[in-house]
Amino acid sequence: MMKLTAGGNSALGCWLIVAPFVLDAPAAGRWNDVLVGAAIALVAGYNYTKALRRQSVSARGAGFVTVLGCWLIVAPFALGLESPILWNDVVSGTVVAGIGSYNIYIATAVGRNESFRMTAE
């Protein structure tokens, strides 16, 4: 399950890099999405490779991704963006933050209880 969730967040990060050009976002929204998307793709990709190797994923990395997802929810309003980039960021941010929160939960649960590892994989 960790492979799916971390890989999904990594794919969403890649979408955020491309989305501002597809949706014709203004400069502030474009830079925000590219930088946040790149950070999400890198950190979630790191957790994905850890999950592929059946190693413990980084709870701090998942926490960072969750914070970035929360920023994506707030950023369009702070930057004054309009549809469709506004809704793209809000929906993507909600999904990223939700998956990131789940990854934090699993990473900390696996760290506390080794028998939980079998259920998480």
Structural domain including 68 reads 2-120
Q: Percentage of residues in the chain with pLDDT exceeding 90?
A: 60
- Using CA of residue 103, residue 105, residue 111, residue 116, what is the dihedral sign? negative
Burial 33-47 (b: 16+ CB within 10 A, else e): bbebbebbbebbbbb
pLDDT tier at 57 (50, 70, 90 boundaries)?
confident
Q: Give percent of the chain above pLDDT 70.
A: 91
pTM (2 d.p.): 0.85
How many domains are there within the chain? 1
Mean of pLDDT values over 29-49: 94
pLDDT grade for 44, boundaries at 50, 70 and 90: very high
